[in-house]
Each structure stands twice: as structure tokens, then as C-alpha cells.
Amino acid sequence: MPVITLPDGSSRQFDNAITVYDVAADIGAGLAKATLAGVVDGREVDASYSIESDAELRIITSRDDQALEILRHSTAHLLAQAVQQLFPGTQVTIGPTVEDGFYYDFASDHNFSLEDLEKIEAKMQALVADDLPVSRLVYSREQAVEMFRDMGEHYKVEIIEALLEGEEISVYQQGDWMDLCRGPHVPSTGKLGAFKLTKVAGAYWRGDANNQQLQRIYGTAWSSPKELKAYLNRIAEAEKRDHRKIGRKLGLFHFADDAPGSVFWHPKGWTLFRELLEYMRGRQDAAGYVEVNTPDVMDRSLWETSGHWFNYRENMFSTQTEDERIFALKPMNCPGSVSMFAQGLKSYRDLPLRMAEFGKVHRYEPSGALHGLMRVRHFTQDDAHIYCTEAQMEQECIDVVALVLNIYKDFGFEDVVIKLSTRPENRIGSDEVWDKLEGALSNALDVMGLDYVLFPGEGAFYGPKLEFVLRDAIGRDWQCGTLQVDMNLPERFDITYVDEDGNRDKRPVMLHRALFGSLERFIGILIEHFEGNFPVWLAPQQAVVVNITDKQSNYAEDVVSTLKAQGLRVATDLRNEKVGFKIREAELSKLPYVLVVGEKEREAGTVAVRGRHGADLGVMSVADFGAHLQTEIANKSVVNKTA
């Protein structure tokens, strides 16, 4: 007679074992209809799962966060069933969920096209209309191998044979189709429907390029058609904002096969890069940092001491010299910083010592993972390493968090999620040390009254970390800044300071901190966030002066000279084109201001000012416009409020 305890604390007693679905039906017909799965004593299960003893139960409906994972996994099975019905002889491999959707890898003689996706989608919708019941079946390892071998599913056989002997194998069946899976899944195909297939790509079996190439079909699935539509609109908006397209259009940068994963910065793009760098340099100077610079190439022994050679070697570029010394391009700035700290005797009076470096780092990323500015092999970090006493550690964490949140506001990012990642399985250092480090980060956030999300086991191998996730203009999340606390590298490098009692063997705590993260990636995020319409203080070019006829050419150049003398980024457009054409070109180049000069303006020493999107701001003297621009820049306005 199981007693079922529900989330509100109420309980219900039943005479016999009962399924999750039947409990929902006992509560109400509406809940039964909405039931997708359940959570029994903390474990996700199917709606058909039988509860035989006292248990805590939570019903999962489409309103629950966990529902999306189940819906997407079930839709992946729906995709596989549709593909095999339309293209007999196709073998299915794996079909996991991913962020915002799912994919399934297929081995097929047929080359899937975008046109095929429409046919597959239609077949999937037909299977939804059939409302096929989904059931879970359990087989022994041997039975499952025999069954899938008979079906010609050789990839499934390989998966099963890799499992431990004696392990039970669960299979999900819908109609006459079945697939290996742990579940849970929706009760029937009729629970699905808000999905869209998005693209076809290549993939290798088990991710190994030495294995057979497969075809991967991606899709997205949501709890309702409304959510699906909102997502597709968001994707369309993201496509418009693609930083690679805007970067080409605005002449900011390019990539080439001569240097895969490395950026060729054009003058306007490099101006943007330098503005970001100088902005951060100013903020760090004001916060008590000193700036240093360390070598790009260092001996293997340094990376062995830091632990990177053993924990990160596959991502490092290295080379061997004639004398058989092995050197590596630095993937991190930390060892160089520690080497800098080790030069000369340090006292407690020197701490906290905040050393910043705009360090160029190189990391091997597979060619398939490279993605514009977002994923590169060569990039610049706004790195800093803070050396402090244990007593100073928590306050330094507080100061870093306050600084990063304040900096993000200058770029219009006020919705920031903080993630706390704690000790991973593969780590260096004692549990006692990790307790101190994790406590410093969590205490700092508690003191500041900031919420955070805990990610157990996701810390770096040398210390726990905070990650700062920004939400952009169209609701996408980007992980940018990090803060890590570390007592392990100081020990591995044997760095010390002299304490108040004259002891020379005191270990400093080391804080690793990057606020933009990668300047390249942050620029990519900014391009997409602003859709290329950078705030005036950041815009590579802040205004263009256009003349109506050649008579105003000299005056236009005088205006530019006057404004440039004030440190403003202004240019002329004196081409023999109609003024309307030049204004339109400037707007397409997303310039904050267009200054039109005709005979009236030349004679009066003024400019006719146009803001973004064609806003007419009237006629101003050159001095007044310069003052207006200087004020907007000084205020770090996120948007051109006058436009």
C-alpha cells in the first residue's frame, strides 16, 4: 500500500503499486492529460513507471524546466523513426539533446539535403498525428545485441557491447519502431509537435576522424508553438546580427587559411580593439593594478611546473629546437605572471599586488570548432593576477566582482548571471585548500548580496572559479569574465613573501581574473549585441563630414581637422556623388553621426547634424557639436540617445 508524497507536502495512499500517470489521474483529469513524466525520489522516470513502495513524487508537465530535455530527446527519436521510414537501410547511431534542441547522427547511402528536411518534418508531424504510444522495454545485454544485430543496426550493437556484462538494456518503442535509450520519454508521440529541423552537417562516429563519416540532422523542439516561433524569430535576428557578416560589411577584420583561427584586423577593427584595451587599461589603473608583459614562448619545464603540460597539453602549440629543448606558445598567462612575482623579495607591505597583462595566448582548437571571433586559436586576454594574503583574499574577490559588474554596465549588460564552479575530480591541491578557496568566493558573493548558480565539479584543475554570463539584446547568454582563486600554483612554483614577523616562507594566494575574457570574443559579442551600431565612445569612426558640392571640400576638411584635434574619430566623404547617396552610405556603415555641409554651413561655420536612423538634429556650430560629442563620450552612453 504505497504512500505517495507530493511536492506540496500532501500524500495519497493506494492499495497496490501505481504508475506516475495513474497518480496524476487520481489528482485530476487535466493533470493526467498534461503529464509527460515524473520524478520519483529524485530520479526522472516515465509516466508509465510503477511505484511499488512509499515515495516522493513530482509530476512533470510542459511547464516544468525538466520537460524540455524530455521533449527534445523524444523528438530526436521521432526524427530517427521518420528518417528510417522514408529512407530504408539507414542506420541510427546516437541522438542526444543539445542547447536549444537535438540532433541525430545517421549512416545512410542517401545524402540528406535541405529539401529532405521538409519531407522528414512532414513525416514527423504525421507520426505525431498518429499519437503512437511510447513504451519502455528491458532486455539483457545478450538479448539486445542479438535484436539490434538482426535489425542491421551495427552501431547500436557496438554501443551495447561496450557496456558491462549483465547490465540491463532499456529500449523505447513507438509503433513498430524502437531505439536503444535510457529515457525517460513522453507517453506518446502526440505529446510532441512544436519542432523544426534546422540543418544537416557531417560528423564522425564517436567523434573520431578515423571512423566512418555520418550525417547529422539538427532540430529544435519546444513546449509550445509560441515558444518555437519565438525561438525561430530569435535565430532569424541572430542571423541578421552575425558578427562575421557585419565585420565584413563594416571592414573591421577578416580571416584567411594562411592563419586559421587568427584575426586579420583592419584599421577600423583595430581602432575598436584599441579602444577596448585603453578602456580596460584606464579602469585597471584606477583600481590599483600595475601592467606587465611576459614572453609568448616559454620552456616546457615551466608548463610542467604549472601542471598545464599534463592537464592541457593537447591544446598547446609546441616546438623543439636544435638543442632538443621543447618550447610552447603560451595558452595561459599565469606561469609568466608567477615568474614575474618571483623576481626579487616580496613583503606583506607589497600585497595585494595586482598585475595586469594584455597577454596574447595560443590554443589549439579543432578546425571544425573555429567560429569567427567567438572561437579562435590566437587571442588576447585582459588578464590579471592578484597576489594577496589569506586575510585579504575575500575582499579582493569582492573588489573584482564589483569591478566586473560595473564595467559590464558601461556596455549595456545589466542582466548578469554569476556561476560558481567548484572542485573537479581531476585537480591538484588538498581538500583543506579547496575548502578555503571555495569559501572565499561564496562568502564574497554572500557579503555582496548577489545570487549565484552552483556548478559542482566544474572548477579549473588548480582552483574554483566564478563565471560571469551576460545576456545580450536578443536574449542570448554569453560567458565572459572569470575569477579563480588559487593556492596551488604558488606552492608549485614555490613563491613566498615576508610576513609581519619576518618569516620568509609565507605563501601568497593567487587570484586569476579576466573581465572581458578574450578581447576578440568580446568584440564579436558587442558587434552582435549592438548589431554594429556601436555607442559613440566605442565606434571606430564617430562621424563623417559630407559636402554637397566641391565648393565645401576645404571647409569639410577644416571641420575634420578641428574635431580630430579634440581626439574625435572623424573623416570626410568628398566623393563626387549626390549628398543623399553619401548620407545613405554613412547610415549603412552604421556611423553615429553624419555632418552635412553646404554653402549655408560653410558661410556660418556650422554643420547640419544627422543622427542614426536619419534623425535630424538640426544645425550646430562646430564647437557645439564637438562639445556634444565629448559629453556623450564622457558619459559612456550605451546608445546614441539623441538619435
Phi (first) and psi of residue 402, to 5 degrees: -60, -40
CA distances from 35 to 2, 11, 23, 60, 536 (A): 20, 18, 10, 6, 52
Place of cell 578546425: 367
The per-residue b/e assignment along 13-37, b for 16 or more CB within 10 angstroms, e otherwise, is: eeeeebbbbbbbbebeeeebebbbb
Residue 77 Rama label (left phi>0; alpha psi -120 to 50; beta): alpha
Cα of 24 vs its chain's centroid, Å:
38
Q: Is 540 helix (H, G, I), strand (E, B) or coil?
A: coil
Q: Grid coordinates standing for 218? A: 539538427
Residue for cell digits 573555429?
Answer: 370
CA distance 245 to 247: 5
Per-residue cell: 148 = 539490434
Closest CA to 63 of 224, 183, 233: 224
- Assign 567 to helix, strand or coil: coil
User: Which are the catalytic amino acids?
Assistant: 334, 363, 381, 383, 385, 465, 512
CA 414 from centre of chain: 17
Query: CA 94 to CA 453: how far, in whole Å?
Result: 30
d(CA 619, CA 625): 9
Closest C-alpha among 157, 213, 195, 168 to residue 77: 195
Decide if 468 contacts 416 (C-beta within 8 A).
Answer: yes
- Residue 193 parent element (H or E): none
For the record, the C-alpha cell of 183 comes out as: 529515457
Q: Grid coordinates standing for 346? A: 616580496
In whole angstroms, what is the distance from residue 634 CA to residue 630 CA? 6
* Cβ(380)–Cβ(520) below 8 Å: yes
Cβ neighbourhood burial of 345 (10 Å; 0-12, 13-18, 19+): exposed
Note the helical H segments in 180-326.
225-240, 243-249, 267-286, 300-306, 308-311
Report the helix count and the strand count for the chain, using DSSP H and E. 20, 33
Q: Which residue, 115, 169, 102, 81, is CA-closest to 92?
A: 81
Cis peptide before 96 (omega within 30 of 0): no
Instruction: Extract the C-alpha cell encoding 570.
Output: 572623424
